[in-house]
Amino acid sequence: MNRFKLLPLYCLIAAFSVADGQQLTVAQKVDALMKKMTLAEKIGQLNQVNGDWAATGPITTDVGDKLEQIRKGQIGSVLNITGVAHTRAFQDAAMQSRLKIPLLFGQDVIHGYSITFPIPLGEAASWDIAAIERSARIAGTEAAAGGVHWTFAPMVDIARDPRWGRVMEGAGEDPYLGSQIARARVKGFQGNGFGSLDAIMACAKHYAAYGAAIGGRDYNSVDMSLHTLWEFYLPPFKAAAEAGAATFMNSFNSLNGTPASASSYLQRDILKGKWGFKGFVVSDWNSIGEMVQQGYAKDNDQAAEFAIKAGNDMDMESRSYINNLEKLVAAGKVPVKLIGEAVRRILTKKFEMGLFDDPYRYSNADREKSVLNKPEFIAAARDMARKSIVLLKNQGQVLPLSKNLNRIALIGPLVKAKKEMKGFWSLDIGDEGKIVSLYEGMQQAAGKTQLLYAKGCDITDTSRTGFDEAFKTAMQADEVVMAMGERPDMTGEAKSRANIHLPGVQEELIQKIMATGKPVVVLLMSGRPMVFNWTADHVPAILYTWWLGNEAGNAIADVLYGNYNPSGKLPITFPRTEGQIPIYYNHYNTGRPPQNDSDVNYTSAYIDLPNSPKFAFGYGLSYTAFKYSNLKLSGKSLQSNGAIIVSFDLTNTGKYAGEEVAQLYLRQLISQPVRPVKELKDFQKIMLQPGETKTLTFTIDKEKLSFYNDQLQWGTQPGEFNLMIGSASDDIRLQDGFELL
């Protein structure tokens, strides 16, 4: 008998690893550790609790002594915790546990850590994938230096309803743009890979279809066909998984009657099965426990059973797992192997992050001091902010501002706002002094021009007492710049608005100031598309600035003075009014499409409103103009494994250097099921000097022509296609057709 056969396998592995040092794989290290763990300790790894900082959800009461629970191995991860000192204290407790399994520290590093970048919807408006990746890279680098291992980002929810407050957190309505940005953000956060001291784990959320909450009401139910789910809502999640996202977070909503945390279809069949996802799934805040409120589970015990069986690995803040799983295993209701699978996924990430080599490796005070707020990071934030600004209107070339003006009046409730510039889901790591208000940005840029100021009104208050002073101030100026918008806490989680008009009496103030006859520029600051029709129809120059972060004031001044020519394009449709919602560009044609905005003769149209949006997906102006010409296709047909090369010339016909986002849209004319009237399939953002022409090319291949059919199979159908190239989804400059054979 070969004596080796008598030794348990893990002794052999341990023996070899000891002899060979680095020979042990992560999987083998996990195996060896799990063999030592009790069931209770394994369940402890599935339990995530809130740190001592701001809660990002309803607080569960009487949770006991968290540090003591960590010492007992009952907690595997802590969220809402930042800073080297704070994370070290919690890790110390973990090092006093029996097996010294390090904690994972998670935080919502959504658009910056110490330096805040534009909100994600604003960054999406840049259509600058490299800049978006860099923004996430910097956020990840700072967070890693601040003791954070894991960000609950990118949020990749497709959103077609601006009443939903979390529209600010994603990349808008389009699956293609959303997928490109999902990849960029995952790569940005995860940088040089787990274990690198400037990389943190990403978390694609909220899986899935959270943005389709009925009525745009946060946390509301979602009901959609699986075809719509696969065609429009899953692609950015698939892209995030393909980009190697370390984790996924499921969503609060039920999808077709099943809460996402209990959905084996989403978490096991699709994510871990079809897509082969090897990371782990964390619930959203108490989303497991909320199965009871949903009427899906009778109690937390049953919720825990449903969730672990459905593939939800970690329980954020519901304590359903820690309080019930051991009993469920003992009662034979939950196979112990499901616990093992979940623990294995979580421990694998802790090993990959190097936390077993050094649990404190991300909590280094010297690195925290040297990495945060680097000048090059601040410069990148300014660059990202400038690129996120969308020029909606510039009648009579009111912009850019002349440097020779004697006086500019800065009017509005957001002129001197500072912390507001950070928007929702920003962290208070650094001091607010670093945030540049519009007023401060203009002071830096205005040179000899004198700046006058009047607040005029508040954001939501209906008092008009400031109007007269604002009017008088405007009368003394050569030009007026107004900073208007929402409060940053009006768009975000649990911030749905049934009325998305510019709030308060702000539009009345704009009317009052327009009555001075001065040239007026309106800046609109918000996390969502707002309705502001009078302003849009009467004010000559309008910039949508979202919430631009620390460098807001400098970036806006750069654009106002033409130091940067605005290049942003809307990543989401702007409705004329709430009654149009949901409205999005990639809609189906219907059997009775209106021929124009006033065609209501037995057509799919409103009799009291034009059908078109106020501003379309992909729309954004420049201080210069671009001409599209000379469209050529390498062929008028292709086999499914072939390709067509599309080329065209783009010319800057104006007097300013500027960037254009040339957009490629396709439409399959006949298919089963039907296809949208147009779908974004590619884009290029390119800088052109005045008078310069460049030839751009797009490649049309099987990937761009594929879609999910009625059986949810990804593939192509032969047929005719329209090809459209334009400056916006409603501004098509070149068209042609081809056939897929």
Question: Where in the sequence numbering do the catalytic residues fall?
Answer: 284
- Which of 75, 93, 94, 108 is the binder for ligand GLC (CB under 6 A)? 108
The alpha-carbon radius of gyration of the chain (Å, integer) is 27
Site residues (CB under 6 A) for ligand GLC, limited to 475-504: 493
Please report whether residue 152 would count as binding ligand GLC according to CB under 6 A: yes
> How far is residue 621's CA from residue 380's CA, in Å, rounded to a whole number?
23
Please report whether residue 220 would count as binding ligand GLC according to CB under 6 A: no
Please report whether residue 79 would count as binding ligand GLC according to CB under 6 A: yes
| Residue with Cβ nearer ligand GLC (87 or 727) | 87
Cβ at position 603, least distance to ligand GLC in Å: 40
Cβ at position 634, least distance to ligand GLC in Å: 45
CA quadruple 483, 484, 488, 492: dihedral sign: negative
Cβ at position 251, least distance to ligand GLC in Å: 8
Please report whether residue 205 would count as binding ligand GLC according to CB under 6 A: yes
- Other CB atoms within 10 A of residue 699 CB: 13
| Residue with Cβ nearer ligand GLC (429 or 541) | 429
Please report whether residue 76 would count as binding ligand GLC according to CB under 6 A: no
The pairing of strands 77-79 and 254-255 is: unpaired
Please report whether residue 149 would count as binding ligand GLC according to CB under 6 A: no
538 CB burial (10 A radius; 0-12, 13-18, 19+): middle
Q: What is the DSSP letter of 369?
A: H
Query: How does DSSP assign 29-43, residue by residue?
Result: HHHHHHHH--HHHHH
- Tokens standing for 684? 């290029």
Cβ at position 276, least distance to ligand GLC in Å: 24
Cβ at position 108, least distance to ligand GLC in Å: 5
| Residue with Cβ nearer ligand GLC (120 or 654) | 120
Nearest C-alpha neighbor of 344 from the set 407, 279, 416: 279
The span from the first CA to the last CA of the chain, in angstroms, equals 66
Q: What is the DSSP letter of 80?
A: S
Give the x-and-dash track for 515-544 against ligand GLC (CB under 6 A): ------------------------------
3-state secondary structure at position 59: coil
Nearest 5 degrees, angle CA 311-CA 258-CA 582? Answer: 120
Count of positions on this chain that bind ligand GLC (CB under 6 A): 9
> How far is residue 368's CA from residue 537's CA, in Å, rounded to a whole number?
49
Please report whether residue 313 would count as binding ligand GLC according to CB under 6 A: no
| Residue with Cβ nearer ligand GLC (319 or 678) | 319
How many alpha carbons fall within 13 Å on the CB side of residue 80?
Answer: 15
> How far is residue 430's CA from residue 432's CA, in Å, rounded to a whole number?
7
| Residue with Cβ nearer ligand GLC (206 or 569) | 206
CA dihedral 134, 136, 139, 144 (to 10 degrees): -110
| Residue with Cβ nearer ligand GLC (151 or 727) | 151
Please report whether residue 284 would count as binding ligand GLC according to CB under 6 A: yes
Cβ at position 260, least distance to ligand GLC in Å: 12
| Residue with Cβ nearer ligand GLC (56 or 603) | 56
Question: 466-471: which pairs have CB atoms within 8 A and are 24 or more residues apart?
Answer: 466/509, 467/508, 467/509, 467/512, 470/411, 470/509, 470/512, 470/513, 471/512, 471/513, 471/515, 471/516
Cis preceding-peptide flag for 690 (omega within 30 of 0):
no
- Which of 31, 32, 39, 56 is the binder for ligand GLC (CB under 6 A)? 56
Cβ at position 697, least distance to ligand GLC in Å: 39
- Tokens standing for 155? 């949020």
Nearest C-alpha neighbor of 414 from the set 357, 486, 499, 331: 486
Cβ at position 153, least distance to ligand GLC in Å: 8
Nearest C-alpha neighbor of 653 from the set 551, 710, 577, 727: 727
Nearest 5 degrees, angle CA 600-CA 605-CA 608? Answer: 80
Cβ at position 41, least distance to ligand GLC in Å: 24
Please report whether residue 218 would count as binding ligand GLC according to CB under 6 A: no
> How far is residue 182's CA from residue 712's CA, in Å, rounded to a whole number?
22
| Residue with Cβ nearer ligand GLC (153 or 638) | 153
- Which of 44, 51, 57, 676 is the binder for ligand GLC (CB under 6 A)? 57
| Residue with Cβ nearer ligand GLC (152 or 547) | 152
Residues in the site for ligand GLC, rule: CB under 6 A?
56-57, 79, 108, 152, 205, 284-285, 493
